[in-house]
Amino acid sequence: MRRLLTATVLTLAAMAAAADQTDPRLTPLFDRLKEAREEEDAVGTANEIWKIWFEYRDAGVARLLQQAVAAKDAGDVDKALEVVNRVIEIAPDFAEAWNQRAIIYYKVGYFDASLADVEETLKLEPRHFGALSGRGMCYLGLRDPDEALSAFEEALDVYPWLSTARAYADTLRQRMEIRRRNGLDG
């Protein structure tokens, strides 16, 4: 019994050490996310994914990212950027750090910079539905509805219940259909 308990503790510690976008718990969660029959189940699964994305094998780096998010949420863009830049410098393989900087850039209207960080996020975690949806938001800001729709649809492929992406995709499709029917394209 003691050996089983020790093995379990060591397994859990190894999983925590690997936490981030490379965590082995993510694949079954993404499967569950895609197969969810109810929005409530999908939201719960998405929250589990977000929790893992914010973990990192170095707890100090994870705490720094939390400081950047707190500064962002408080509206202190300079502090948020200073801290998240430090995180990316220390841990360039931490997808959520890139995603958080993309969010900060988006909030201040730096859509091209945000898109560049979205791409870095997606190189590390191609299933990052937050980054995919963020890509759509950036393209909306850049007045490129075709690319925005494509990005929202990619997010929905990963997370079919993502309500914001669904609403934007539906609105864009409706607008495009109105334009097409009224001969406003081209």
Give me the CATH number covering residue 72.
1.25.40.10
- Examine residue 162 and state whether it is found in any structural domain, yes or no: yes
What integer is the mean pLDDT of 17-41? 88
> Which residues, in sequence order, are CB contacts of 114 under 8 Å at separation 6+?
102, 103, 105, 106, 134, 138
**Number of domains into which the chain is organized:** 1
- Examine residue 21 and state whether it is found in any structural domain, yes or no: no
Task: Return the pLDDT at 19.
Answer: 61
Task: Return the pLDDT at 186.
Answer: 56
Q: How far is CA 15 from CA 8, 22, 25, 95, in A?
A: 11, 10, 8, 17
More confident residue, 150 or 179: 150
More confident residue, 22 or 32: 32
- Examine residue 120 and state whether it is found in any structural domain, yes or no: yes
Q: How far is CA 123 from CA 13, 20, 117, 131, in A?
A: 26, 14, 10, 11
Please, what is the average pLDDT of the chain? 90
Rounded distance between C-alpha atoms, residue 35 and residue 40, angstroms: 12
- Examine residue 15 and state whether it is found in any structural domain, yes or no: no
pLDDT band at residue 34, thresholds of 50, 70 and 90? very high
Task: Return the pLDDT at 182.
Answer: 83
Q: Is 178 helix (H, G, I), strand (E, B) or coil?
A: helix
Lowest-pLDDT range, 12-26, 116-130, 163-177? 12-26
Structural domain boundaries, residue 47: 28-181
Beta strands in the chain (DSSP E): none
The H or E element that residue 125 is part of is none
What integer is the mean pLDDT of 86-98? 97
Lowest-pLDDT range, 16-25, 36-45, 138-147? 16-25
pTM of the full structure: 0.86
- Examine residue 10 and state whether it is found in any structural domain, yes or no: no
More confident residue, 24 or 4: 24
Rounded distance between C-alpha atoms, residue 121 and residue 129, angstroms: 10
Evaluate if residue 33 carries a pLDDT over 90: yes
